[in-house]
Structure 1
Amino acid sequence: MKKITIACGNGGVENNDLIEKVFYKHFQNDILQKNEDSAVIHDGSLVFSTDSFTVSPIFFEGGDIGKLSICGTCNDIAMMGAAPMYVSCAVIIEEGFDMKELDIIVSSMKKELDINGAKVVCGDTKVVPKGAADKIFINTSAVGSVLKSGISSNKISKDDIVLINRDIGCHGATIFTAREGMNMGGDLQSDCASLWPQVQALIDGGINITAMRDATRGGVAASLNEWAKQSKVGIVVDESSIPIKDEVKGVCELLGFEATNLANEGTFILAIKAKDEQKAIKILKRFEKNRYATKIANITQEHIGKVVIESSYGTKRYLDMPSGELLPRIC
């Protein structure tokens, strides 16, 4: 690869290839190589993460770029069993951007900060000439305090099962239909949401959590493949158990997408001990959007590093890491 392509930001094969061959090559260290949603630092008491947001359109059903910028970064903190605390906010704004829209975006950020119990403590603002950026880009970083230590995507074993908190693909489908001016009917909207309250409930409920990951770019397929490789296990997914809304199925059937590859912004997978399955599902279902919380996969010592998906007819196929650019600027 001699030039950066749009697929290098897809959260899949090309994205991982870019990170490994360029950034890991120069930045490699024992913290980074763990490849978690957030870096565990300060003797395991804190976690730290950063993310940038370029979503288009900046306003969409279920959220906007401001809401997304806090949910995305704070969710990465939450996935490590940590309470979000301190957030930085850096914005790049195109000349001529509407001040009223900026105020709406920042107000959305504040609402999500309140949900997470976090606050912005530093930031930066840049304004660039018209045409040098597309409206507004946001970067947020966050520090969180670890409440449950030992959560890691490198520790998954055959004693674990995989749950999901809700139906998949809503964010990706919402952004695509908004861009194309498509009306799928129903109540399709992004799943964009802060996940810390759900994680806190699981921790308070004594759930034995091995790993968690919010299934953003690359969707559930990318997250499961990353887990299989990092923990050197096989994962067998029951295809019929994956919850998908009819509106998302309609988008996928119309355009040839796989729902498991679509981005999510309020959907996460968690590996827990099998004995805690019903208790964890009961806790997740306390939350309004989680009525479809369920088990979707088992862990095996067969086909190490691979994800196999089994249909209701008993047929099996590999669920591969996504490749190519399905939907650029999804987050």
Structure 2
Amino acid sequence: MSRIVVTGRVPEPALQKLRAEHEVDAWEGSDSISRQELLRRVAGADAIVSLLTERIDPELLDAAGPQLKVVANVAVGYDNIDVPACTERGVVATNTPGVLIDATADIALGLILMATRRLGEGERLIRSGQAWKWGMFFLLGSSLQGKTLGIVGMGGIGQATARRAKAFGMEIVYQSRSEIDPAIAAELGARRVELDELLTISDVVSLHCPYGPATHHLIGAEQLSLMKDSAYLVNTARGPIVDEAALALALREGQIAGAGLDVFEQEPKVHPWLLELENVTLVPHLGSATVETRTAMAVLAADNTLAVLKGEQPPTPIS
């Protein structure tokens, strides 16, 4: 039997799969595991099932030892993993794409609706106990029909978000490293453009690109200045894709109309200006937060782990 370290709490079906074949050391604390404790526990591990809150770097890989075969990340993003360091040590790194597409696209559309229709402001107003009454100009928002959604990163989640937006009558443009399947482009009526054009013409910009050096602060002061003053920015990808200070300033000065954020540059910290603003909707990284999705993610990570330990190709290796 191999020894598997699970760095945080995951749904029980995944643990059952792992325990049926191997020894499992799973962190059960309500808080994230400390770095010191993590380094201690991984010593001698054959596999690590990691959450995005844990940094998988050379220090941790060396603490585990040369027998380590696989790091299975319970997330589609893997900016917490030093993939070249894994490759250098012969460790297979995997992630969990596909299973969280619909859940994240649902959150993206939810944030679009909350931002454009000012739902967060309305909810806060009622909960505050302030007096209010219906009026023709009370909390006016913006409709989606006939508006343009610009999608940055047209992978599975971007395409699923586009389908939802199309059902609301939106036009779709996108920026991506490559053209999408022509049949899908035709289905969505989606047109590929460069980022600057997308920012200039879109009424809503939704971010779905992976995070890495090339996309760090992809959206900063210069890019925000290209957007319409009536436009909205939505981020369900990774926080550091957006320069949060620049976004806070743009929102504060009315340079753009609003924003919806599920992720933040220095999670769980949020830029203090954002907390003071009414024209931004803030939710705590809930993109994949359904029972079904989180279970599917954990089970896929378990399948990846078991496959590598058997000497087989994992279902979803990080290429």
Q: Please indicate the TM-score interval, normalised by the length of the shorter structure.
A: under 0.3
TM-score (norm 2): 0.25
Indicate the structure whose relative CO is greater, using CA pairs within 8 Å and at least 6 residues apart.
Answer: 1
Larger radius of gyration: 2
TM-score (norm 1): 0.25
Instruction: Flag the structure with higher helix content.
Output: 2
